[in-house]
């Protein structure tokens, strides 16, 4: 049984254990150094000040997580976010990623978010560090390709592209209501 819930700072160690493998073994993230547990707790805390940060628990263990961050820091971008998702490498293709994104999108819609954007490392040719799986996953969830930045990420002595994908989850209006910060949304439930 898999459940989706809001992450807490107490989850940082389990979440970081999932993320560390992506840093050390893949080019899925362009981060080189595994952050300290204190830094990672801070990242979770900072995200939850405004946005959801979700974990998928399977058999009492965190099997994946997803969160969003501001697309850009300017006020005009408030209705757009950048998504991030990581699933335990042993749990890939089990439906956990889809469930995390579905719940994330449900919460973002309640907040008034309209655009979800994914920044994805992309290989010119697949290799042992990076495949095109993330793009295929996002396509299945309704994201469309927006653009490619060529050879902009360097990891494992190789150059990788980065692509942007987007999905609209709300209606764009002339008088757009302000977004509701996640902590306020939780209080209103």
For the whole prediction, is pTM greater than 0.85? yes
Domains delineated in the chain: 2-182 (3.40.630.30)
Q: Which of helix, strand or coil describes residue 56?
A: strand
pLDDT digits (tens, 9 = 90+) for 48-74: 999 999 999 999 999 999 999 999 999
What is the reported pLDDT for 15?
A: 98
The per-residue pLDDT for 76 is 96
d(CA 103, CA 52): 10
* Under 8 Å between Cβ of 83 and 138: no
Q: What is the mean pLDDT of the chain?
A: 95
Q: Percent helix, strand, coil in the chain (nearest 5)?
A: 35, 30, 35
């Amino acid at each position: 049984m898999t459940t989706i819930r809001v992450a807490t700072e107490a989850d940082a160690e389990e979440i970081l254990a999932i993320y560390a493998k992506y840093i050390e073994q893949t080019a899925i993230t362009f981060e080189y150094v595994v952050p300290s547990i204190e830094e990672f707790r801070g990242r979770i805390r900072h995200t939850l000040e405004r946005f959801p940060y979700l974990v998928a628990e399977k058999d009492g263990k965190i099997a994946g997580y997803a969160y969003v961050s501001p697309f850009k820091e300017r006020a005009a971008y408030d209705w757009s976010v950048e998504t991030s998702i990581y699933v335990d490498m042993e749990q890939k293709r089990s439906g956990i990623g889809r469930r995390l994104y579905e719940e994330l999108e449900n919460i973002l819609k309640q907040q008034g978010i309209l655009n979800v954007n994914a920044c994805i490392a992309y290989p010119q040719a697949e290799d042992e560090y990076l495949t095109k799986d993330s793009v295929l996953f996002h396509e299945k969830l309704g994201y469309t390709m927006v653009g490619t930045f060529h050879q902009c990420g360097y990891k494992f002595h190789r150059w990788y592209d980065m692509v942007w994908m987007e999905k609209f989850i709300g209606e764009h209006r002339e008088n757009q209501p302000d977004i509701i910060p996640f902590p306020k949304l939780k209080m209103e439930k």
